Amino acid sequence: MDTNSKSIGIVGARGHTGTELIRLIAAHPALTLSFVSSRELDGQRVDAHVPEYRGELRYSAPAHEDLPKLGADVVILALPNGKAAACVAAFDGAGVDPLILDLSADYRFDPAWYYGLPELMREQWRGQRRISNPGCYATAMQLSIAPLKDLLAAPPVCFGVSGYSGAGTTPSDKNDPDKLRDNLMPYALTGHMHEKEASFRLGVPVEFMPHVAPHFRGLTVTTNLYLSRPLKREDVLQRFHSAYDGEKLVRVTDEAPWVSRIAHRHHAEIGGFTLSADGKRVVIVATLDNLLKGAATQAMQNINRAIGVDEYTAIPL
């Protein structure tokens, strides 16, 4: 292990994203897992649940006020929405200042926190110790819209479908395989948190209609964009290639990407690029694994940059 290695703890690690984070950290040359909290798994060995991890660590269930005493250099908050503030307050109250990365929506609208969508916000990182990780759908929507943002004639309309891992581990209709079988389940058809997030971050209103499908992981977003002037397909492609060809975790494809091909992959794919006859409407398809580029992989990009190692360390490209 590198002598400059940092210790990292995860608060709320039982969920699907927590498992992916442990896998990434286990392969990281500069991070050592120091604690993994989960009330449900308290006392159980981490390697019994995540075999890629080869240490002796067990899940624990520290109280919020005890988190600062655990001494981690980096803390990931993998908690449901609305639960992060108590943990952040515990660190602030103790005068302890680890790098904190929050996976929930709680700080995505807070200007004091860096919003960690590297492909669009990399230049705005100024060494902040508090990082808000973007939502999975919000990542796909922003990547789809940003290269054409200056030409919009109307709010982008996004139709999204995700696997049921996006509904978390708490039982509900949206993660019940029996109810999802041969089904497509619409929900939150206006005002979804990721609609608000994408609108806020892009500075333009975005309309979003999410659905859950019977597959486990991966999401697809089809975005309809009305343009203020006609474009040719090669003009649209040029904008997207210009925006993302230097990015290792965004791939621009000619054909529309399929969600079945993105499961367990760490990058997003954007393609399709279908224009109306008058050139003033373009439809774009984006896919990503909601647990990886939509959550754990993006968190690792942000942590890597914040601890001063290459952005893609321990991320399989």
Are residues 21 and 51 both part of a single domain? yes
What's the CATH number where 299 sits?
3.40.50.720
**Does residue 153 belong to any structural domain of this protein?**
yes
* Ranges 43-52, 164-173, 282-291, 303-312: which has the least confidence: 164-173
Answer yes or no: is pLDDT of 18 > 50: yes
118 shares its domain with 162: no
Q: Is 87 a catalytic residue?
A: no
* Mean pLDDT for the stretch of residues 41-59: 96
The pLDDT value recorded for residue 4 is: 81
Residue in the block written with tokens 């400059």:
4
Averaged pLDDT, 228-257: 98
Element (DSSP H or E) covering residue 139: helix 136-145
One domain for residues 43 and 152: no
172 and 215: one domain? Answer: yes
What is the predicted pLDDT for the residue at 166?
A: 85
Question: Residue 316: inside a domain, yes or no?
Answer: no
Residue 256 has pLDDT above 80, yes or no: yes
The mean pLDDT value for 262-266 works out to: 98
Q: Which of 6-20, 159-173, 286-300 has the highest mean pLDDT?
A: 286-300
Residue 299, pLDDT above cutoff 70: yes
106 and 197 assigned to the same domain: no
Give the pLDDT score at 1.
41
For residue 291, pLDDT over 80 is answered with yes
Residue 2 has pLDDT above 60, yes or no: no
| Residues 149, 32 within the same domain | no
Choosing from 75, 136, 202, 243, which is the catalytic residue?
136
Average pLDDT over residues 41-62: 96
- Taking residues 181-198, report their average pLDDT: 97
Q: Does 183 share its domain with 82?
A: no
Pair 145, 264 in one domain: yes
pLDDT at 58 over 50: yes
Residues 17 and 122 in one domain: yes
Dihedral (Cα; 174, 197, 252, 184), 10-degree rounding: 20
Nearest residue to 99 via CA among 290, 308, 295, 292: 308
Phi, psi of 26 (to 5 degrees): -60, -30
Residue 283 has pLDDT above 60, yes or no: yes
**pLDDT of amino acid 297:** 98
User: What per-residue confidence (pLDDT) applies to 27?
Assistant: 97
pLDDT average, residue stretch 160-170: 89
- Quick one: 127 and 151 in the same domain? no
The arithmetic mean of pLDDT across residues 190-208, rounded, is 98
Examine residue 312 and state whether it is found in any structural domain, yes or no: no
Q: How many domains does the chain have?
A: 2
Q: How confident is the model at residue 3 (pLDDT cuts 50, 70, 90)?
A: low
Answer whether 0.75 is exceeded by the pTM.
yes
Largest CA distance in the chain: 63
The percentage of residues in the chain with a pLDDT greater than 70, rounded to a whole number, is: 99
Same domain, 224 and 284: yes
Task: Look at residue 97 and tell me if it is in a domain.
Answer: yes
Query: Is there a single domain that holds both residue 100 and residue 236?
Result: no
Please give the average per-residue pLDDT across 36-40, as a whole number.
Answer: 95
Q: Is 202 inside any structural domain?
A: yes
Predicted pLDDT of residue 268: 98
Angstrom CA distances, 5 to 1, 2, 73, 121, 239, stand at: 7, 5, 10, 26, 39
In contact, 24 and 315? CB cutoff 8 Å: yes
Domain holding 74, by residue range, is: 6-133+294-307
Round to whole Å and give the CA distance between 255 and 285. Answer: 9
